[in-house]
């Protein structure tokens, strides 16, 4: 069988060596030549030659040698380098149903700026304008020019195929994903992905201990990013994790999320006069009722809030059971802004799972990333693409000192 990873020419070998060193630099950020040798298996002369090229191209810069750094003992002082994290930037965007958040980060993943705006419309053109303005604001805050952007990664609440397109079967999906690559045509490469998929990438990058899990966005609607044996599932049309099947699940009936129903059920109880005098929820104006306030009231023992939490917990348990039955997920991570306050719902759901369904039940956990899960996943997606094919990007050269 033909080997595809063997260099067949000096030029290809040189390119493979450069890729290896850039990937190491992206991981290590600062390193000695001897460290790069150990990590890549390349010889000293090859590492030094490649590093010289990468300095000229702007990927790395040479620092003082080990003698200057106080690390030198005897023999030839080691040459030291650092990644020029400012050589390129990633723009990560969570273009949600009601809010858009954009961050700008350098190649080390350090976030330089963050902006957010409310999206009070589902109109595709309005969303294009607001998302672009949000990104422009983040770039201005970070002091980053369009020419310095490697990638724009946008998360949307719609299934997305490998070409960044959403199915045309519903107008909603098209409005949520209104051809963002044309919005950022002057900003380099643009990648569009499903928001729950990006949330799953964020959970992977930030330390979940499960190799098979679901990142369950649970705000307005349920949507799942599914990771099985360490691999994100997508499907040919990007539909893996779409939760339309919940419409036929007994006790669930729709893909409506915890955030939406927690708010709506609290408002309905208020309108029906079902909130007893002294109830925490009764003291909150209807326009200000939210799922988070319901969860906080439940944690404080409010009876009306506890009733809502019981209903939501059973609903979440049924959703988790479906995911575990289909994919044998070890863990269901409730993600999104609602996660920070959702512990009372998770407690109720875990109890319902334990008593109503056959073992083993998945572990339920609230994401520690909160409302930033999707935008951090978009950032991780961008950084992974740079690590995967670094030489497909052109780093910004350092400015020459003025005479």
Q: Per-block average pLDDT, block size 10, for the chain (403 residues)? A: 57 94 95 95 96 96 68 67 97 96 98 96 96 98 96 97 92 96 94 98 91 96 97 94 94 96 98 95 96 96 97 98 96 96 97 94 96 97 97 88 56
Q: Do 303 and 238 sit in the same domain of this protein?
A: yes
The structure's pTM equals 0.91
The reply to whether 190 falls in a domain is yes
Task: Tell whether 172 is covered by a domain.
Answer: yes
Same domain for 40 and 129, yes or no, is: no
Q: What is the pLDDT of residues 144-183, one digit of tens each?
A: 999 999 999 999 999 999 999 999 888 999 999 999 999 9
Region of residue 158 (left: phi > 0; alpha: psi -120 to 50; beta: else): beta
Task: Assign residue 316 the CATH number of its domain.
Answer: 3.30.420.40
Which residues form the domain of 49? 10-66+78-83
Q: Provide the pLDDT for residue 109.
A: 97
- In this structure, is residue 72 part of a structural domain? no
Question: Could you tell me if residue 299 is inside a domain?
Answer: yes
Token pair belonging to 335: 């993600």
- Give pLDDT tens digits for 208-243: 889 999 999 999 999 999 999 999 999 999 999 999
pLDDT at 8: 63
Is residue 399 one of the residues assigned to a domain?
A: no
pLDDT on residue 398: 83
pLDDT in the model for residue 3: 45
Please state, in angstroms and rounded to a whole number, the distance separating the CA atoms of residues 194 and 153: 11
What is the count of structural domains for the chain?
3
In a shared domain, residues 313 and 379: no
Considering the domain architecture, whether residues 232 and 273 belong to the same structural domain is answered as yes
Q: Are residues 214 and 277 in the same domain?
A: yes
Return d(Cα 226, Cα 197) in angstroms, integer: 7
Same structural domain, 169 and 260: no
Domain closes at, from 54, 83, 112? 83
The answer on 163 and 36 residing in a single domain is: no
Residue 237 is assigned to a structural domain of this protein: yes
Distance CA 257, CA 216 (A): 10
Q: Is residue 124 part of a domain?
A: yes
CA angle 149, 194, 186 (to 5 degrees): 25
Copy the structure tokens of residue 220. 């307005």
Q: Considering 83, 110, 135, which residue would you say is the last residue of a domain?
A: 83
Alpha-carbon distance 23 to 391, whole Å? 10
Q: Are residues 328 and 255 in the same domain?
A: yes
Beta bridge partners of 152: 91, 190
Structural tokens at position 353: 């799972």
* CB of 157 closer than 8 Å to CB of 119: no
Same domain for 283 and 249, yes or no, is yes
Token pair 């070998």: residue: 13
Distance CA 262, CA 79 (A): 59
The answer to whether position 2 is within a domain reads: no
Same domain, 134 and 272: no
Same domain assignment for residues 156 and 276: no
CA atoms within 13 A on the CB side of 218: 32
* CA dihedral over 171, 177, 181, 185, signed as positive or negative: positive
- Report yes or no: 109 and 206 within 8 Å, Cβ to Cβ: no
CATH code (residue 30): 1.10.10.10
Q: How many CA atoms lie within 13 A of 228 on its CB side?
A: 12
User: Are 190 and 230 part of one and the same domain?
Assistant: no
CA distance 189 to 147: 11
């Amino acid at each position: 069988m033909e080997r595809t990873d063997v260099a067949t020419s000096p030029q290809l070998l040189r390119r493979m060596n450069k890729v290896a060193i850039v990937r190491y630099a992206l991981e290590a950020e600062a390193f000695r030549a001897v460290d790069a040798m150990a990590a890549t298996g390349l010889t000293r002369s090859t590492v030094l030659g490649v590093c010289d090229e990468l300095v000229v191209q702007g990927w790395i810069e040479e620092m003082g040698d080990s003698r200057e750094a106080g690390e030198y003992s005897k023999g030839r002082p080691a040459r030291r380098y650092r990644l020029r994290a400012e050589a390129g930037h990633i723009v990560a965007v969570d273009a949600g149903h009601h809010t858009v958040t954009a961050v700008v980060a350098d190649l080390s993943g350090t976030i330089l700026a963050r902006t957010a705006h409310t999206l009070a419309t589902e109109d595709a053109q309005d969303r294009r304008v607001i998302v672009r303005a949000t990104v422009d604001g983040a770039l201005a805050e970070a002091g980053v020019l369009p020419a310095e952007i490697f990638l724009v990664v946008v998360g949307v609440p719609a299934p997305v195929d490998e070409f960044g397109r959403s199915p045309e079967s519903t107008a909603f999906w098209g409005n949520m994903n209104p051809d963002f690559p044309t919005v950022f045509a002057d900003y380099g490469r643009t990648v569009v992905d499903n928001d729950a998929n990006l949330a799953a990438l964020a959970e992977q990058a930030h330390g979940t201990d499960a190799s098979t899990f679901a990142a369950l966005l649970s705000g307005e609607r349920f949507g799942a990013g599914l990771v099985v044996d360490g691999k994100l599932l997508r499907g040919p049309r990007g539909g893996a994790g779409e939760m339309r099947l919940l419409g036929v699940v007994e006790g669930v009936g729709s893909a409506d999320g915890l955030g939406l129903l927690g708010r709506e059920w609290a408002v309905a109880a208020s309108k029906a006069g079902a909130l007893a005098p002294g109830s925490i929820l009764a003291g909150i104006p209807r326009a200000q009722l939210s799922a988070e306030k319901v969860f906080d009231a439940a944690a404080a023992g409010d009876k009306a809030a506890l009733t809502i939490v019981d209903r939501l917990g059973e609903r979440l348990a049924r959703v988790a059971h479906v995911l575990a039955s289909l994919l044998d997920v070890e863990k269901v991570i409730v993600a999104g802004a609602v996660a920070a306050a959702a512990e009372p719902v998770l407690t109720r759901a875990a109890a319902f799972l334990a008593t109503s369904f056959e073992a083993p039940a998945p572990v339920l956990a609230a994401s520690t990333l909160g409302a930033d899960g999707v935008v951090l996943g978009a950032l991780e997606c961008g950084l992974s693409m740079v690590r995967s094919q670094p030489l497909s990007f052109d780093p910004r050269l350092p400015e020459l000192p003025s005479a």
